[in-house]
């Protein structure tokens, strides 16, 4: 595919934005990358800044909505449209209106399902059979803009949030390459109502560290989904007789047992609940490397059985 000469402004700050920028730069001319600045005292890598530097792209930074407004009040850009992914800053109507063809936001769900901060994790948490990517014309109200397009992705019930994120990044890139050229040529700049997807309105939220504390009163299948959903962060933590551990992989058996009772099933640690048994395939005890459930029993059987 020949690189599109009509330029765009790219808005993005997080790791999803960085990977998306690396892909989109192969096919689009990027006039400038707008991102958050390096935080004070932060000495590690800043993914978007690093990718932009590697690609030789111009960068402008803003920490919040006010600074973003000020940036566009004093700078002149020729791009007729922007593309926004994983930005983390509210964009005012002033900035949206700066672009004759608007700003296209790639949102990682089938809108209006999972509007908000963390649609990928919530798709895994809820055990959905499908999710996807929506290209939306940005408006001030959160994730309520008209759709340029959308595409679905089937889920097999075993995917983790990091694995799903990678799949959606590539699905997003394919949609952007297919549909943004039509916007840049002025052929499609209005979009369609979100109701065309047939999905119900729902909202995700930012996770907290407390979300990762396993609540053993929940059904085993819910806990198993949480383990997959929280793999990257906040991780699924529990305590076996004062031994802290992060459970990294598990599966559910229909076996019944006394709720909360811990035992060994098929040479693996297991916790019964009224609606199934959670069998632990791998986990990471505090201060140790990740290990299989069988290896865990070799050293910590007493703590498991309490």
Q: What per-residue confidence (pLDDT) applies to 188?
A: 83
Question: How many residues appear in the chain?
Answer: 306
By CB atoms closer than 10 A (0-12, 13-18, 19+), residue 295 is middle
- Give the CATH superfamily of 212-305: Formyl transferase, C-terminal domain (3.10.25.10)
What number of other Cβ atoms are within 10 A of residue 150's Cβ? 22
CATH 3.40.50.170 is the classification of domain 4-197: yes
Per-residue model confidence (pLDDT) at position 121: 98
The β-bridge partners of 236 are 247
Contacts 24+ apart (CB under 8 A), 233-237: 233/207, 234/207, 234/208, 234/209, 234/210, 236/212, 237/212, 237/213
Give CA–CA dist 81/23, Å, rounded: 18
Cβ–Cβ under 8 Å, residues 243 and 285: yes
Those residues with Cβ within 8 angstroms of residue 176's Cβ, 6 or more apart along the chain or in another chain: 24, 28, 83, 104, 106, 135
Retrieve residue 269's tokens. Answer: 């640690």
pLDDT value of position 1: 60
| Tokens 């850009």, residue located | 77
Degrees (nearest 5) of the Cα angle 253, 256, 259? 110
pLDDT of residue 178: 96
If you search the block for the tokens 């929506």, which residue do you land on? 134
Virtual CA dihedral for 4, 10, 15, 20, nearest 10 degrees?
Answer: -20
Three-state DSSP state, 263: strand
Contact present, 185 and 97 (Cβ < 8 Å): no
88/225 Cα distance (integer angstroms) = 26
Rg (CA), the chain: 22
* CA neighbours closer than 13 Å in the CB half-sphere of residue 95: 28
Q: What is the pLDDT along the chain (306 residues), one digit of tens a residue?
A: 678 989 999 999 999 999 999 999 999 999 999 999 988 877 778 899 999 999 999 999 999 999 999 999 999 999 999 999 999 999 999 999 999 999 999 999 999 999 999 999 999 999 999 999 999 999 999 999 999 999 999 999 999 999 999 999 999 999 999 999 999 999 888 899 999 999 999 999 999 999 999 998 888 999 999 999 999 999 999 999 999 999 999 999 997 777 788 999 999 999 987 678 999 999 999 999 999 999 999 999 999 997
Place of tokens 């209005």: 190
Considering all CA atoms of the chain, what is the largest pairwise distance in Å, rounded to the nearest integer? Answer: 68
Separation of alpha carbons 49 and 61, rounded Å: 10
Domain residue extents for the chain: 4-197, 212-305
Give the N- to C-terminal CA distance of the chain in Å, as an integer: 61
Query: Sign (positive/negative) of CA torsion 1, 153, 143, 50?
Result: negative
**Residue owning tokens 């933590």:** 237
- For residue 31, give both structure tokens: 């006039």
């Amino acid at each position: 595919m020949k690189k599109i000469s009509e330029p765009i402004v790219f808005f993005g700050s997080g790791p999803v934005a960085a990977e998306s920028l690396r892909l989109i730069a192969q096919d689009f001319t990027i006039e400038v990358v707008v991102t958050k600045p390096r935080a004070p005292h932060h000495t590690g890598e800043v993914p978007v800044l690093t990718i932009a530097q590697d690609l030789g792209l111009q960068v402008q930074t803003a920490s919040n909505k006010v600074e973003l407004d000020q940036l566009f009040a004093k700078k002149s850009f020729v791009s007729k449209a922007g593309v926004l992914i994983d930005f983390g800053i509210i964009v005012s109507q002033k900035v949206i209106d700066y672009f004759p063809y608007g700003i296209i936001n790639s949102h990682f769900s089938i809108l209006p399902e999972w509007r908000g901060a963390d649609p990928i994790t919530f798709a895994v948490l809820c055990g959905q059979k499908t999710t996807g990517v929506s290209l939306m014309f940005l408006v001030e109200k959160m994730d309520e803009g008209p759709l340029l397009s959308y595409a679905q992705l089937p889920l097999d019930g075993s995917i983790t949030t990091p694995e799903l994120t990678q799949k959606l990044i590539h699905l997003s890139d394919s949609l952007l390459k297919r549909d943004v050229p039509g916007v840049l040529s002025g052929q499609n700049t209005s979009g369609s109502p979100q109701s065309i997807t047939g999905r119900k309105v729902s909202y995700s939220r930012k996770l907290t560290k407390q979300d990762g504390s396993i609540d053993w009163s929940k059904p085993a299948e819910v806990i198993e989904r949480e383990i997959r959903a929280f793999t990257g962060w906040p991780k699924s933590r529990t305590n076996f007789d004062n031994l802290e551990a992060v459970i990294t992989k598990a599966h559910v058996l229909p076996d019944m047992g006394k709720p909360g009772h811990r035992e060994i099933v098929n040479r693996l640690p297991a916790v019964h609940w009224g609606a199934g048994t959670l069998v632990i395939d791998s986990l990471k005890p505090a201060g140790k490397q990740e290990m299989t459930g069988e290896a865990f029993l070799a050293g910590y059987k007493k703590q498991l059985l309490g």
